């Protein structure tokens, strides 16, 4: 029985032994090899003075060393602090100091800047992997070469703190979501069960390992005995080639990954016949794109949903059961979801009515680290967590995300949800991906503006897209401005950052006649 993160790899190694668990580049690792390497890392950490409950930050790109360090840290009973590699040095320093980090294990290029913090606060050790490790740092490679290959995981209770994962900090400083072992294990088990993952699966993954979605995927792969085919960074050609080369059966990704794959000029020339199902999460994937992918590959896409405060993926369209493109499916076993009045969370909304999505169950975080006020505002006394998502539930109990409450555009008193417009735009034959944000307007307060990336070798005018939107949306929802662009601002996972759309704004506005025409 696996009840803590530190037990995941030892239990899997006893079951699957010499089978391949990881492929990255031209290297592969068996369950036994990965277990032994993580034990060497654990012995190194203990020798450096790391104790159960200490905070240890893990900071680096997708690579085998990252996974070895992850399971090594977990075996010591320390609390994991996964750090997003796209954060600035100031943001990383804030996290290291805020969490009271005892040690940092990182790639040399990322962790070098933290050496000057050693000896301040709780930080005592900076351990680096890669080339040109500074003399002031501890070389991770030395631990892997000289450490003992056996280590008994420190016993921890499943309710103990396992990880502190920091949110993106869109409104001020990032908040540290405290995840229990029970939550991290539960999210991984649900990921394996809902996708029917098993020893025969070869899983393509380009998701950043520090991200909670990435955590669910790699932990599920290890627990289920699958082979994880790690792509260091998403690239359409690399992913398409890897699917055929490794005869991958399953792929995980965010919506933008599927947008770029479908828009890749030679997409249809690659052999993707080995895929049996795909997962998508992080943001809503328009049903039109899911259907297009299935039509062109024969492989269904199952949409999932989750958040940092819930240790990752927490609902999905199950492989065994109805798959409804455009919905986020049903909650993982043992958990519950409901849609409530945004002004009165005690009032549950009728089927089909919009409201805030609430979540309750063992996946709910313990709270925000050092932030009682934030915790109280997010988790109700009865355990229901506010997700901040507007959603609906259908008669089968499947949920659909309308949009984030904070992204709503208020146009002349009407609520306009960007995701709804994005879904309509992405259904157009020429559109590869689209994002919608609000722009100020003296008369109406805000107007919706669309930022559109077209598929290669296609052409469409703003007027044609406006007409397309008018055919599928109420007049007040039709974007009043459309800007064509070659790329959109995204996070490390590929999630579109609507708050940064103004950074690429070229001031495009529709003419008065176009506004009048769009409103009719």
Q: What is the pLDDT of residues 418-473, one digit of tens each?
A: 888 998 999 999 999 899 988 887 777 788 999 999 998 888 999 999 999 999 88
What percent of the chain lies above the pLDDT cut of 90?
73
Closest to 473 (Cα-Cα) out of 445, 506, 436: 436
Q: Is the pLDDT score of 507 beyond 60?
A: yes
Start-end of H helices in 335-490: 372-378, 418-426, 462-472
- Topology of domain 408-519 in CATH is GMP Synthetase; Chain A, domain 3 (3.30.300)
Which CATH architecture describes the domain 184-401? 3-Layer(aba) Sandwich (3.40)
Q: Is 329 exposed, middle or buried (0-12, 13-18, 19+ CB in 10 A)?
A: buried
Which long-range CB contacts under 8 A does 45-51 form with residues at least 24 apart?
45/72, 45/73, 45/76, 45/78, 45/103, 45/105, 46/76, 48/103, 48/124, 48/125, 48/127, 48/138, 49/102, 49/124, 49/125, 50/76, 50/78, 50/102, 50/103, 50/125, 51/76, 51/77, 51/78
Which of residues 505 and 98 earns the better pLDDT score? 98
For residue 99, what pLDDT band results from cuts at 50, 70 and 90? very high
Q: Is the pLDDT score of 244 beyond 50?
A: yes
pLDDT at 420: 85
pTM for this predicted structure: 0.85
Q: Is the pLDDT score of 78 beyond 50?
A: yes
CA distance 280 to 471: 28
pLDDT at 512: 33
pLDDT at 172: 64
pLDDT at 513: 35
pLDDT at 472: 87
Averaged pLDDT for residues 52-57: 97
pLDDT at 367: 97
Q: Is the pLDDT score of 495 beyond 80?
A: no
Averaged pLDDT for residues 314-335: 96
For residue 509, what pLDDT band results from cuts at 50, 70 and 90? low
Q: Is the pLDDT score of 520 beyond 80?
A: no
Residues in Cβ contact with 127 at an 8 Å cutoff, skipping those fewer than 6 apart: 44, 48, 103, 104, 105, 106, 111, 137, 138, 139, 140, 143
Q: Is the pLDDT score of 169 beyond 60?
A: no
Q: Is the pLDDT score of 516 beyond 50?
A: no
Phi, psi of 503 (to 5 degrees): -65, -25
For residue 135, what pLDDT band results from cuts at 50, 70 and 90? confident
**Spatial contact of 133 and 338, defined as CB atoms under 8 Å apart:** no
Which of residues 503 and 347 earns the better pLDDT score? 347
Q: Is the pLDDT score of 235 beyond 70?
A: yes
What is 30-174's CATH number, 3.40.50.980, 3.40.50.2020, 1.25.40.10, 3.30.70.270? 3.40.50.980
Report the alpha-carbon angle 487-492-493, nearest 5: 90
CA distance 33 to 38: 9
For residue 411, what pLDDT band results from cuts at 50, 70 and 90? confident
Outline which parts of the chain fall under CATH 3.40.50.12780: 184-401
Mean pLDDT of the chain: 91
In the structure, how many helices (H) and strands (E) does the chain have?
A: 15, 27
Averaged pLDDT for residues 143-166: 96
Outline which parts of the chain fall under CATH 3.40.50.980: 30-174
Q: What is the pLDDT of residues 343-369, one digit of tens each?
A: 899 999 999 999 999 999 999 999 999
Outline which parts of the chain fall under CATH 3.30.300.30: 408-519
Q: What is the pLDDT of residues 249-299, one digit of tens each?
A: 999 999 889 989 999 999 999 999 999 999 999 888 889 899 999 999 999
- Give how far the C-alpha of residue 61 lies from the chain's centroid of Cα atoms, to the nearest Å: 15
């Amino acid at each position: 029985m696996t009840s803590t993160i530190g037990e995941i790899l030892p239990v899997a190694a006893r079951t699957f032994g010499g089978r391949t668990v990881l492929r990255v580049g031209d290297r592969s690792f068996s369950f036994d090899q990965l277990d032994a390497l993580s034990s060497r890392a654990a012995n190194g950490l203990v020798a450096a003075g790391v104790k159960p409950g200490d905070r240890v930050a893990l900071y680096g790109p997708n690579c085998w060393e990252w996974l070895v360090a992850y399971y090594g840290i977990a075996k010591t009973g320390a609390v994991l602090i996964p750090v997003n590699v796209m954060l600035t040095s100031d943001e990383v320093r804030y996290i290291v100091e805020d969490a009271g980090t005892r040690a940092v294990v990182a790639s040399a290029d990322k962790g070098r800047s933290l050496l000057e913090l050693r000896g301040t606060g709780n930080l005592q050790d900076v351990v680096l992997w890669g080339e040109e490790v500074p003399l002031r740092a501890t070389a991770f490679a030395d631990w892997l070469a000289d450490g003992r290959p056996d280590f008994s995981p420190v016993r921890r209770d499943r309710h103990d703190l396992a990880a502190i994962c920091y949110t993106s900090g869109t409104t001020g400083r990032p908040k540290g979501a405290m995840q229990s072992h029970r939550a991290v294990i539960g999210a991984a088990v649900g990921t394996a069960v809902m996708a029917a993952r098993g020893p025969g699966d070869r899983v393509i993954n380009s998701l950043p390992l520090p991200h909670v979605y990435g955590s669910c995927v790699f932990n599920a792969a290890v627990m289920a005995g699958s082979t994880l085919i790690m792509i260091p960074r998403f690239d359409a050609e690399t992913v398409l080639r890897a699917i055929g080369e490794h005869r991958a059966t399953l792929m995980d990704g965010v919506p933008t990954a599927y947008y770029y794959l479908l828009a890749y000029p030679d997409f249809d020339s690659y052999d993707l016949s080995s895929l049996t199902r795909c997962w998508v999460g992080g943001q809503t994937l328009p049903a039109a794109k899911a259907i297009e992918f299935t039509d062109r590959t024969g492989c269904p896409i199952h949409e999932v949903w989750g958040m940092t405060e819930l240790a990752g993926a927490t609902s999905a369209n199950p492989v065994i059961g109805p798959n409804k493109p455009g919905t986020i499916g049903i909650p993982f076993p043992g958990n519950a979801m409901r849609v409530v009045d945004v002004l009165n969370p005690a009032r549950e909304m009728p089927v089909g009515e919009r409201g805030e999505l609430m979540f309750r169950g063992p996946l709910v975080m313990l709270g925000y680290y050092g932030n009682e006020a934030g915790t109280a505002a997010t988790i109700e006394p009865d355990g229901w967590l506010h997700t901040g998502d507007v959603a609906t539930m259908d008669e089968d109990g499947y949920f659909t995300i309308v949009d984030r409450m904070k992204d709503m555009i208020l146009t002349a008193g009407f609520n306009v949800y960007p995701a709804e417009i994005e879904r309509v735009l992405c259904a157009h034959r020429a559109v590869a991906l689209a994002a919608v944000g609000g722009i100020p307007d003296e008369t109406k307060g805000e107007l919706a503006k669309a930022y559109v990336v077209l598929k290669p070798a296609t052409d469409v005018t703003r007027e044609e897209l406006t007409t397309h939107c008018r055919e599928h949306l109420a007049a007040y929802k039709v974007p009043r401005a459309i800007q064509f662009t070659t790329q959109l601002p995204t996070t490390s996972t590929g999630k579109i950052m609507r708050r940064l759309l103004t950074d690429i704004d070229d001031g495009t506005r529709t003419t008065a006649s176009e506004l009048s025409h769009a409103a009719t």
